Amino acid sequence: MSELPHRQGPALANPGPLGLLGFGMTTTLLNLHNAGLLPLSIVIVSMGFALGGLAQIIAGVQELKNGNTFGGTAFTAYGLFWWSLILIWICPFEGIAASDGASMGFYLLLWCVFTLFMFIGTLRHNRATQVVFGSLTALFLLLALANFTGAHALHLIAGIEGIFCGLSAVYNAVAQIVNGEYGRTVMPV
């Protein structure tokens, strides 16, 4: 009597590129504003809600289902960051004070600390992921300092650094997709 062949379930897709695209495209767009190149508009808010928030949360949940604690934590947390930032911008709660420089400074500083610890985790990952988290740590620090001090020049510098951060995440996402499709390294990470 022959044994039945072992049936495996369908291969799990890599949700990382979706999360990185959600993060990277939204971060790039917002930092075009921070660098003084675009006004804060519904375009940025909508991208933050849909791609920065929802897409990253979906990617994060999928990473958790795949057993990837790092990716799941990162994408879910940063997706919720975008949703919280939108709530800060629109301040929809009656009787709650709008944000000010100090409260935004502490908000961004806490994200900087979280991101620094996540960066430490990337030291076991590829260089592209290290660049994303290292530059994001610097971005949160610059934005926190800009909010604490009110220094417009720091905000502009943060915007330029944030464009780099966002584009590095887009590169990482595209590299993962292209390398996965070709089954070899076409775009180094």
Domain boundaries in the chain? 16-182
What residues of the chain score a pLDDT lower than 50? Answer: 1-2, 4, 7
Among the residues of the chain, which ranges form H helices?
16-34, 42-47, 56-65, 69-90, 101-122, 127-149, 152-182
> In this predicted structure, what is the pLDDT of residue 12?
84
> In this predicted structure, what is the pLDDT of residue 9?
65
> In this predicted structure, what is the pLDDT of residue 4?
45
> In this predicted structure, what is the pLDDT of residue 11?
75
What mean pLDDT is reported for the chain? 95
